[in-house]
Amino acid sequence: MERIEEILDGVKTMGIGGHVRPDGDCVGSCMALYLYIKKWYPKIHADIYLEKPKPVFGHIACMDEVKYEAGEEKEYDLFVTCDVSALDRLAVAREHFAHAKKTVCIDHHISNPGFADTNHVKGEISSASEVLYSLLDKEKIDLDIATAIYTGMIHDTGVFQYSSTSPDTMRIAGDLMAKGVDFSNIIDQSFYQKSYIQNQVMGRVLAESIMLLDGKCIVGYMKMRDMEFYGVQPADLDGIVSQLRLTKGVEVAMFIYEHASQLFKVSLRSNGKVDVSKIASYFGGGGHIRAAGCDLAGSMYDVINNISEQIEKQLLGQDE
């Protein structure tokens, strides 16, 4: 596929869906495609399905039109997933995907097995939003569409810090900025602005973090009772693992939080020597070389030990 128009012939109804716990790239790419269809193909009835996104994405147009539940059974002419690396990661509308006449996957995860009828997967590209940009008519990208794409790109590149950022990535960002994207405010709201409680929680995690593997790995954690004490939700924990990664001498940062009794969400960030996507995949999760995650059951110490064992194998070159 070279242009999105290739999959729209004869389509009257269309569904768009993203992955569970949607991040910036998922929300940005899904919303950009939805806005593009809504504006330039008004004869196509499009629905977008996402788990409820975080308020930080409120600057993207038409967020109030997102469907958080699948609703009644439907047979779409076309269902497109954006940033979904595997079918079991598709949120909300998996049944709609299964019943659609035609399915398309737009993604950038190397681990994607290709689960749709048409799979446009570019593992070398920084984000699904950047992949989507290459499929759109550049003359039809207005400010709203550009804002959604830019949001997705900055989230999956760490504001253009990660190694997946290419010269093309920066050229595309420049083109989007030329559309009038309010990039400064989007970056501030997405990464730097924190509530007082969020700062308190981050401070506690940093203060209680532990160093492992001769200082090559740093671990931060939060138990369910502590989250209840502060009155915080998982969305309030954004940015903690990235801050841990900045610790001098660290190769891998691990942040875990308990979202049910003895069930932990694990977020991993690497400075390059360790491929954390391999570790996350080993435990049933996924992601990218420098940013990945998974869920693990057990005690907090079991989770830390199991993950750190896999990190150590890579550091020692024993992961083959």
pLDDT confidence tier of residue 156, bands split at 50, 70 and 90: very high
pTM for this entry: 0.82
The per-residue pLDDT for range 234-272, each reduced to its tens digit, is 989 988 999 999 999 999 999 999 999 999 999 999 998
The per-residue pLDDT for range 11-67, each reduced to its tens digit, is 999 999 999 989 999 999 999 999 999 999 999 999 999 999 988 899 999 999 999
Contacts of 273 (CB under 8 A, 6+ apart): 251, 314, 315
Q: What angle do CA 24, 28, 34 make, to 5 degrees?
A: 150
pLDDT confidence tier of residue 320, bands split at 50, 70 and 90: low
Residue-level pLDDT at 163: 79
Phi-psi region at 159: left, alpha or beta (left = phi > 0; alpha = psi -120 to 50): left
Residue-level pLDDT at 167: 96
In the chain, what are the domain boundaries?
A: 4-191, 196-315
Residue-level pLDDT at 288: 81
The per-residue pLDDT for range 197-221, each reduced to its tens digit, is 999 999 999 999 999 999 999 999 9
Fold of 196-315: Diaminopimelate Epimerase; Chain A, domain 1 (3.10.310)
Residue-level pLDDT at 70: 96
As a whole number, mean pLDDT of residues 81-85 equals 96
Say if residue 100's pLDDT is above 70.
yes
Residue-level pLDDT at 164: 84
With pLDDT > 70 as the criterion, what percentage of the chain qualifies? 99
Averaged pLDDT score across all residues of the chain: 95
Say if residue 319's pLDDT is above 70.
no
Neighbours of 94 (CB within 10 A): 18
How far is residue 205's CA from residue 220's CA, in Å, rounded to a whole number? 6
Level-2 CATH architecture, domain 4-191:
Alpha-Beta Complex (3.90)
Residue-level pLDDT at 54: 87
As a whole number, mean pLDDT of residues 287-304 equals 92
How far is residue 273's CA from residue 311's CA, in Å, rounded to a whole number? 10
Say if residue 149's pLDDT is above 90.
yes
pLDDT confidence tier of residue 314, bands split at 50, 70 and 90: very high
pLDDT confidence tier of residue 110, bands split at 50, 70 and 90: confident
